[in-house]
Amino acid sequence: MADYGHFIGGKIVVGTSGRFAELVNPSTGAPQGRVALASRAELNQAVENARAAQPGWAATNPQRRARVLLKFLDLIARDMGALSSLLSSEHGKTIPDAVGDIQRGVEAVEFYCGIPHLMKGEFTEGAGPAIDMYSMRQPLGVVASITPFNFPGMIPLQKLAPAIACGNACILKPSERDPGVPMRLAELLMEAGLPAGVLNVVNGDKEAVDAILDHPTIKAVGFIGSTPIAEYVFTRGTANGKRVQAFGGAKNHMIIMPDADLDQAVDALVGAGYGSAGERCMAISVAVPVGQKIADALVEKLAPRVESLKIGPANDPSADFGPMVTRAHRDKVRGYVDQGVKEGAKLVVDGRDFRLQGYEGGFYMGGCLFDHVTSDMTIYKEEIFGPVLSVVRAKDYDEALRLPNEHEYGNGVAIFTRDGDTARDFTSKVDVGMVGVNVPIPVPLAYYTFGGWKRSSFGDLNNHGPDGIRFYTKTKTVTSRWPSGTKEGAEFVIPTMK
Ligand code: NAD
């Protein structure tokens, strides 16, 4: 049975609040341990450790900081088997998908190994008489990250890599549903040579989050999770004077034009709609075939594929996807399907009563496929975050384009077509942050930035890539005169470059 405390000051410490969250194996429903939920006092203790460690770490030259990350990469590779099994046992995603989860985070660490180059400033010789001007990037100090359950490897890595590479000390508050991998990552960073206190993992719930948002020493907060909490974190954090980026939920559409390769589109929808049980912020949850002919053909091809999806425990290598993360979440997703039926959508494939023999206690649900969903229905408006795909039929391209543009979320979107004109028009006009052309899950690689628009994101800068450096540093600009002895007398008019 796991019994997670916190990772503070370079070591694992026992939680002292007396509050815990139970950890349950989603594949079996059996309890598998507990995680401590931090009090404000425990968060304060982590911040004190971070504050003490940060100046020394910032003064460590960037090549040495990069070497810690390089060693960290070796250690993750060494332990990938154990990390991915741990991840899938807590989250419920299949082991190959858990490897992908960690690997995506590894790619962010690889990018920030370039920190000596990435953090370089600018220099202008002779900006004025004997005057040079230069800019430099300096770390913010102590920063915090609050992360969701659905990528417990990738997202903590995407957050901590730039924060640490830039010379900050970091508080990571992972999801209380799957804290195992973030705790192991902190230990591996210590083994890689990170000084104690530079990374602290504080497990917890709202109490720990509120303590982070109110703590005056914490200068920036990076959040990823659902939209209501993202908005709350952004509002409270910025009101307290912090730099905040908060990424929220999604409703990702895939437009299928009449000229699309239908088999390719069906493969894409099955993988992007049902992979990881639909618990991805970039999952496709709405398919928009354009024109009745392609809509009928699409649903006809999709239905048998959804019916034959293989659902298994997380450690079944042949499963397409595993259980949902908790019983409560599975029941909530089932509730959405009930609601869709009530509101008049046609449930073509009903996975609500799926049971896995031998795993009756697990949080499984079969794939569900709705046809004739309309934009006023709850299942269209709200994020379901489960293995449920809605087909919304559009009569023409303009109607199809209006759907993602008028939706409150704007995380990802895709178009499947063989026509370059249509693809170009779509990528230009669609009001969404990440766009795929014949690519269903257009998640940018680590050296680009990731971020949705509208109510999928609060704050100005994107996640990872060059924006990671911008978010975790502040710019200082220096104007200097050498030789210093030039005497010009007192200047009362603002100097210009006339
Ligand atoms: P969540 O919002 O429930 O939790 C996210 C974090 O907030 C966790 O660390 C949690 O402990 C904390 N939290 C939960 N309730 C809180 C409260 N009332 N006050 C303060 N903090 C609270 O999200 P989740 O269920 O863990 O993750 C799924 C959601 O995350 C989905 O909506 C998904 O779309 C979204 N997500 C978005 C992105 C993105 O990049 N846009 C990426 C991954 C996941």
SS3 at position 485: coil
Q: 249 alpha carbon to ligand 1 midpoint, in Å?
A: 8
Enumerate residues 6+ apart whose C-beta is below 8 A from 433: 410, 411, 412, 451, 452, 453, 456, 457, 462
Q: 238 alpha carbon to ligand 1 midpoint, in Å?
A: 18
Pocket of ligand 1 (CB under 6 A): 146-151, 173, 175-176, 205-206, 209, 224-226, 229, 247-250, 281, 383, 385, 411, 452, 456
pLDDT at residue 51, rounded to an integer = 98
**Is 113 annotated in the active site?**
no
In this prediction, residues 402-425 reach a mean pLDDT of 98
Dihedral sign from CA coordinates of 278, 281, 283, 288:
positive
* Cα–Cα distance for residue pair 202/176, rounded to 1 Å: 10
Q: Of all helices (H) and strands (E), which one includes residue 42? A: helix 40-58
> 4: which 2 tokens?
């997670």
pLDDT at residue 463, rounded to an integer = 95
- Which atom, in ligand 1's list, is nearest to the CA of 205? 11
Which residue, among 129, 136, 123, 134, has the nearest Cα to 481 in the 3D structure?
129
pLDDT at 498 over 80: no
Which residue, among 468, 494, 442, has the nearest Cα to 268 in the 3D structure?
442
pLDDT at residue 397, rounded to an integer = 98
pLDDT band at 384 (very low <50, low <70, confident <90, very high): very high
pLDDT band at 202 (very low <50, low <70, confident <90, very high): very high
Q: 223 alpha carbon to ligand 1 midpoint, in Å?
A: 8
Enumerate residues 6+ apart whose C-beta is below 8 A from 165: 62, 65, 66, 69, 112, 113, 115, 118, 119
Q: 222 alpha carbon to ligand 1 midpoint, in Å?
A: 12
Q: Which of 113, 166, 170, 281 is catalytic?
A: 281
Tens of pLDDT, residue by residue over 275-313, are 999 999 999 999 999 999 999 999 999 999 999 999 999
pLDDT at residue 90, rounded to an integer = 97
Tens of pLDDT, residue by residue over 245-266, are 999 999 999 999 999 999 999 9
* Cα–Cα distance for residue pair 13/43, rounded to 1 Å: 12
In this prediction, residues 359-375 reach a mean pLDDT of 97
Q: Ligand 1, from 20, 226, 236: best to mutate by most atoms within 8 Å of Cβ? A: 226
Q: 14 alpha carbon to ligand 1 midpoint, in Å?
A: 25
Find the distance separating the first CA and the last CA of the chain, reported in whole Å. 73
pLDDT at 496 over 90: no
Other Cβ atoms within 10 Å of 210 Cβ, number: 16
Q: Is 465 left (phi over 0), alpha (psi -120 to 50) or beta?
A: left
Average pLDDT value for the chain: 97
pLDDT at 17 over 90: yes
pLDDT band at 359 (very low <50, low <70, confident <90, very high): very high
* Cα–Cα distance for residue pair 63/56, rounded to 1 Å: 14
pLDDT band at 489 (very low <50, low <70, confident <90, very high): confident
pLDDT band at 485 (very low <50, low <70, confident <90, very high): confident
pLDDT at 495 over 90: no
pLDDT at 157 over 90: yes
Tens of pLDDT, residue by residue over 120-139, are 999 999 999 899 999 999 99
β-strand pairing of 169-173 with 199-201: parallel
**Residue nearest ligand 1's atom 38 by CA:** 281
- Which atom, in ligand 1's list, is nearest to the CA of 204? 11
In this prediction, residues 213-240 reach a mean pLDDT of 98
Lowest mean pLDDT among 41-50, 189-198, 484-493: 484-493
**Residue nearest ligand 1's atom 21 by CA:** 206
**Residue nearest ligand 1's atom 39 by CA:** 247
Q: 483 alpha carbon to ligand 1 midpoint, in Å?
A: 55
pLDDT at 487 over 80: no
Helical ranges in 276-419 per DSSP H: 292-307, 327-342, 378-381, 397-406
Q: Per-residue DSSP letters for 104-119?
A: HHHHHHHHHTTHHHHT
Q: Of all helices (H) and strands (E), which one includes residue 220? A: strand 218-224
Q: Ligand 1, from 35, 145, 175, 245: best to mutate by most atoms within 8 Å of Cβ? A: 175
Half-sphere exposure of 81 (CA within 13 A, CB side): 1
pLDDT at residue 25, rounded to an integer = 97
* Cα–Cα distance for residue pair 234/232, rounded to 1 Å: 5
Q: 230 alpha carbon to ligand 1 midpoint, in Å?
A: 7
Q: Ligand 1, from 209, 284, 329, 409: best to mutate by most atoms within 8 Å of Cβ? A: 209
Burial class (CB in 10 A: 0-12, 13-18, 19+), 187: middle
pLDDT at 405 over 80: yes
pLDDT band at 452 (very low <50, low <70, confident <90, very high): very high
pLDDT at residue 329, rounded to an integer = 98
pLDDT at residue 491, rounded to an integer = 82
- Which atom, in ligand 1's list, is nearest to the CA of 149? 26
Tens of pLDDT, residue by residue over 30-70, are 999 999 999 999 999 999 999 999 999 999 999 999 999 99
- Which atom, in ligand 1's list, is nearest to the CA of 452? 41
Domains of the chain: 2-248+456-478 (3.40.605.10), 252-437 (3.40.309.10)
**Residue nearest ligand 1's atom 31 by CA:** 226
